[in-house]
Amino acid sequence: MKIGILGAGSWAIALAALLHKRGHQLSMWEFNPADAEMLRTKREHPVKLPGIHIPESVNIVNDIREAIEHAEYVVCAVPSQTMRSTMRNMVKSVPKSDIDKIKGWIIVAKGIETGTLKLMTDVLLDEIPGMNTDKLLALSGPSHAEEVSRDIPTTIVAASENIALAENIQEAFSTETFRVYTNSDMRGVELAGSVKNVIALAAGICDGLGLGDNTKGALLTRGIAELMRLGEKMGAQSATFSGLAGIGDLITTCVSKHSRNRKMGELIASGLNLEEALGKMTMVAEGVQTTKSVYDLSINLDIEMPITHEVYKTLFEGKSAKLAVRDLMVRESKPEWW
C-alpha cells in the first residue's frame, strides 16, 4: 500500500514506523523546510519522539505534492487548527487527478476547529473538491505515540461510514502489538477524541493542585457524562463513548505522563497564565483551542457542561484553578444523570 503522511510530529513518526513494519511505501510531509532536512539527516526527532528511528525508506519531503502524488491513502496528522490551511495548500499544489485517486483519508488529529466549530472530517469535506464521507476515516483511541513507537500493546478504532474502508485500514495497520477495531460512528469517534482533551486539561489542573484519586475518579466519570450529552446532541451513538475512543482514550489521556493536555493543566495549576504555560510546551496541546470550541458548542446547543465551562474560564478568563474546583463542588445539588 502507498501511503502519504501529512505532518511529521510524534504521532506521524510513530505511525510511519508502524506502517513501515507492515511493508507499506511511505512519504511523510513536513511543513517546515529546516525541520524536514533535520529529519532526513537525523532520521529521528530528538524533541518530539527521541530514540525512535525513522526508517531510511520513509521519504521525508517538504513539498506536499511529493507526499500525495503516488499515494493510495493519506494520513492527516497535522494539528487540528491547521488542518484547513493544510488542505487548502494541498488542493492548490496537487493536481486534481492525484487527489481524486486517493482511496481513503485517515484523520488522526483530535480537535474541533475554532470559529466554525467543525470536526476534521467536515473540514476535509469543505476543502477538497468532490470529497464524500465514503473516503473519510477517523483513527482514534488510547494511543500515545511514545508507546506505539516502542511496540507497547495498543488498541485503537478505525471509524468510517464506509465499513469497507474501515476494514481495509484495520488490515493495513494491524500488527501483533497494534490492534485495530472498526466502528461506523465516525462522528462520535471524532467527538470523543476531541472533548477528552478538555477533560485531560482539568485532570492536569487537579494533579497540579495536589488533589487525590477521589477527585480524578469523579472528574473522569462526570467528564464522560459531558461528552455523552454533547455527542447525543450532535448525532453520535452513545455506545461509542463507552468504548476505546471514548472512556478508553479519556482514562489514558487523564492519567498518562505522556499526555500533553494533562501537562498543560498542571502548568496552569502552578499559577502560570495561558501564554506562559504555552511557552513551556514543546508540542501542541490540542485541548486548549478545543476548549474554546466545546465551550461555544455547549452554549449554542444549550448543553450543561460544567467542567468544560470551568476549564474555559481558567484558561481564557484568568479564573484561579482552586476557585474553579470549588465552584464545581458547590453547584446546586441534583440527581446523577448522563
Question: pLDDT digit string (tens) for 309-329?
Answer: 999 999 999 999 999 999 999
CATH code for residues 2-184: 3.40.50.720
CATH homologous superfamily for the domain 191-329: N-(1-d-carboxylethyl)-l-norvaline Dehydrogenase; domain 2 (1.10.1040.10)
Q: Rounded to an integer, what is the distance from CA 86 to the centroid of its chain?
A: 16
Q: What is the pLDDT of residues 54-110, one digit of tens each?
A: 999 999 999 999 999 999 999 999 999 999 999 999 999 999 999 999 999 999 999
What pTM value is reported for the model? 0.94
**323 — phi, psi (to 5°)?**
-70, -35
Cα–Cα dist 294/181, whole Å: 27
Task: Kindly tell me if the per-residue pLDDT of 331 is higher than 90.
Answer: no
Residue whose cell numbers read 466519570:
221
- Extract the C-alpha cell encoding 240: 461509542
Cα angle for residues 9, 15, 19 (degrees, 5° grid):
145
At 234-276, the pLDDT tens digits run: 999 999 999 999 999 999 999 999 999 999 999 999 999 999 9
Q: How far is CA 198 from the centre of its chain?
A: 11
Mean pLDDT (whole number) for 10-16: 97
pLDDT given for residue 338 in this prediction: 60
Listed in sequence order, the residues at least 6 apart from 252 whose beta carbon sits closer than 8 Å to its beta carbon are 142, 143, 144, 259
Say what the pLDDT of residue 333 is.
86
Percent of the chain predicted with pLDDT > 70: 99
108-148 per-position pLDDT tens digit? 999 999 999 999 999 999 999 999 999 999 999 999 999 99
**Residue 55, all three cell numbers:** 526508517
> What pLDDT digit, counting tens, does each position of 145-201 carry?
999 999 999 999 999 999 999 999 999 999 999 999 999 999 999 999 999 999 999
Phi then psi for residue 12, to 5 deg, are -60, -45
Amino acid at 311: V
Q: What local confidence, expressed as pLDDT, does residue 115 receive? A: 96
Q: Tell me what pLDDT residue 283 has.
A: 76
Catalytic residue among 110, 118, 196, 292: 196
118 carries an active-site annotation: no
In this prediction, residue 206 carries a pLDDT of: 95
Domain ranges of the chain: 2-184, 191-329
Spatial distance between the Cα atoms of 36 and 249, rounded to a whole number of angstroms: 30
pLDDT at 24 over 90: yes
Alpha-carbon distance of 141 to 305, in angstroms, equals 22
Asked if 320 contacts 204 with a C-beta cutoff of 8 angstroms, the reply is no
